[in-house]
């Protein structure tokens, strides 16, 4: 059986869509969540088997979809039509869905059967069927091994089509359905029939044997008008015939029992094979899920790799080994640049420390010299004030002496005495002027020394500013290099993870094949 196409009219997200499948190879339906992949498969299941009995299990809706689940919101009617190639026939199955008020129904459908004759397909059968009759016609035409009395197509949904979330459904079926599924899917129902027929035949043979024994007993009682000798001969003859039939029956029974043992052995072998196949199927399905998860992870990491590569200006190569080598080379270069920048920063820190110590000494000396200069200038001010007083006193003395009056006692004095007083005062003035001159010389020397220190301090501050600017530039460069290094390390880790994922995917794909 090959499904060639399906038409969906007002089914879920499909208004009126015809989907054609290829006649050979493997068909994959893929797309984002909610794009209608499951709807296609559910619609095919619905077209073949129709609506099912209500269930509280929401997962069963994926295996046995109902009309209210399939009909498009806002639509009052719709249909699913499926084209199937089966042997030399083409089979078209159509099921309609109607909404009346709040009730959804699927009461009618149609099946068309075309056969290949004279290089073309000719319509042989076209039937309008009720819901249940259409299901019976589909089972008959496609040869599905489903029990007509069973509404849910458990063989189809566990061996041919596995609906979403139903991969483990066979494990939770009740005993009767699971035995039905296993027997019908593996063709064991014929052995079951043989076993039942053998039991029935044994029962018939046993019943016939008892009937013959009763008949023989009755005949012995009914000797009637024949002589005992004649009746004895008849009885002996009948007994021999019965013994012959008994032997035949026992031989037949022995053969049937032998055949039963062979069938039991064959059933045991098939059950073992079924168990092994079931385990292998579960293992393969788990492996496929792991493989799908790995591929999604691989795709996501590949996208992250490209985005990170664009930020770093790296062309992401398909050959991950070459890309890894390129990233490692860049990491080595950045490591060298970082080492050089860190050495330069260490040298700047050392030089800053030296200049800071020198600046501290200059500031201390300058503070000391400013104190000394202030002290000298204070003394000059004091001496200048003292000099001014002495000069005023000298002027007064000279005036009094010129008048012949003693400047102390205001008595008349000799001219020589007055001259001596003037000379003494002038001597004091000269001493003060000398002290002031010496203090001015000291102030000049202190000012020159301070100016020299200030020049040196300005040079030190200039050097410190240059070092700080260089440190800022180098620190920024170091941050850029560290950021690039971290991104390269992240990129390299992604490359390594992708290489490991490629190896793991290849290993699992080889195991699946």
Taking only the tens place, the pLDDT of each residue in 242-288 is: 888 888 888 888 888 888 888 888 888 887 877 777 787 777 778 77
Cite the annotated binding site for Zn(2+) by residue number: 406, 409
The confidence score (pLDDT) of residue 81 equals 96
Cite the annotated binding site by residue number: 406, 409
- The DSSP symbol for 226 reads S
* Highest-confidence segment of 153-157, 220-224, 229-233: 229-233
* Architecture in CATH of 320-512: Orthogonal Bundle (1.10)
Is the model's pLDDT at 59 over the cut of 50? Answer: no
Helix, strand, coil percentages, rounded to 5, for the chain: 70, 15, 20
Taking the C-alpha atoms of residue 201 and residue 259, their distance in angstroms, rounded to an integer, is 13
Is the model's pLDDT at 408 over the cut of 70? Answer: no
The confidence score (pLDDT) of residue 205 equals 78
CB of 84 closer than 8 Å to CB of 2:
yes
CB of 457 closer than 8 Å to CB of 362:
yes
* Architecture in CATH of 2-157: 3-Layer(aba) Sandwich (3.40)
The confidence score (pLDDT) of residue 80 equals 95
Q: Residue 170: which pLDDT band, with cuts at 50, 70 and 90?
A: low
Report the sign of the C-alpha dihedral through residues 429, 430, 435, 438, in that order. Answer: positive
Angstrom CA distances, 101 to 15, 46, 65, 76, 213, stand at 21, 22, 20, 9, 71
The residue behind tokens 């068909």 is 27
Across 63-72, 228-237, 251-260, 326-335, least confident range: 228-237
Closest to 153 in 3D by CA, of 136, 141, 165, 167: 136
290-316 burial, b for 16+ CB within 10 Å, e for fewer? Answer: ebeebeeebeebeeebeebbeeeebeb
């Amino acid at each position: 059986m090959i499904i060639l196409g399906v038409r969906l009219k007002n089914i879920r997200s499909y208004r009126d869509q015809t989907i054609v499948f290829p006649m050979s190879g493997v068909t994959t339906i893929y797309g984002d969540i909610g794009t209608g992949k499951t709807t296609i498969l559910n619609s095919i299941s619905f077209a073949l088997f129709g609506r099912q009995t209500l269930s509280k299990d929401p997962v069963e809706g994926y295996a046995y979809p109902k009309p209210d689940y399939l009909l498009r919101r806002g639509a009052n009617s719709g249909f699913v039509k499926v084209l199937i190639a089966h042997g030399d026939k083409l089979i078209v199955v159509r099921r309609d869905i109607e909404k009346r008020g709040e009730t959804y129904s699927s009461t009618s459908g149609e099946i068309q059967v075309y056969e290949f004759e004279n290089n073309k397909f000719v319509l042989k059968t076209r039937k309008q069927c009720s819901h249940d009759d259409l299901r019976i016609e589909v089972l008959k035409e496609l040869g599905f091994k489903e029990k007509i009395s069973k509404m849910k197509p458990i063989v189809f949904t566990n061996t041919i089509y596995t609906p979403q979330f139903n991969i483990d459904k066979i494990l939770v079926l009740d005993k009767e359905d699971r035995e039905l599924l296993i027997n019908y899917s593996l063709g064991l129902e014929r052995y079951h029939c043989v076993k039942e027929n053998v039991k029935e035949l044994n029962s018939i043979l046993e019943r016939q044997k008892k009937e013959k024994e009763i008949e023989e007993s009755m005949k012995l009682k009914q000797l009637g008008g024949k002589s005992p000798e004649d009746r004895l001969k008849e009885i002996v003859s009948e007994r021999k015939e019965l013994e012959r039939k008994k032997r035949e029956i026992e031989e037949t029974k022995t053969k049937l029992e032998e055949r039963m043992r062979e069938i039991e052995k064959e059933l045991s072998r098939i059950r073992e094979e079924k168990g092994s196949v079931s385990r292998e199927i579960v293992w393969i399905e788990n492996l496929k899920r792991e493989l799908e998860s790995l591929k999604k992870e691989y795709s996501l990491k590949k996208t992250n790799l490209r985005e990170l590569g664009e930020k770093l200006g790296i062309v992401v190569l398909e050959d991950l080994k070459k890309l890894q080598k390129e990233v490692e080379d860049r990491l080595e270069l950045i490591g060298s640049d970082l080492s050089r920048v860190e050495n330069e920063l260490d040298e700047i820190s050392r030089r800053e420390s030296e200049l800071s110590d020198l600046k501290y000494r200059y500031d201390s000396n300058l503070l000391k010299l400013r104190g000394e200069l202030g002290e000298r200038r204070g003394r000059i001010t004091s001496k200048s004030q003292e000099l001014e007083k002495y000069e005023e006193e000298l002027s007064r003395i000279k005036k009094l002496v010129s008048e012949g009056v003693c400047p102390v006692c205001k008595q008349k004095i000799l001219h020589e005495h007055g001259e001596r007083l003037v000379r003494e005062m002038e001597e004091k003035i000269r001493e003060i002027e000398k002290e002031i001159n010496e203090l001015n010389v000291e102030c000049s020397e202190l000012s020159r020394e301070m100016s020299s220190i200030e020049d040196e301090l300005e040079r030190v501050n200039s050097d410190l500013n240059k070092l700080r600017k260089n440190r800022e530039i180098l620190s920024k460069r170091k941050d850029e290099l560290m950021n690039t290094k971290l991104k390269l390390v992240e990129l390299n880790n992604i490359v390594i993870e992708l290489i490991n994922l490629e190896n793991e995917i290849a290993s699992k794909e080889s195991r699946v094949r």
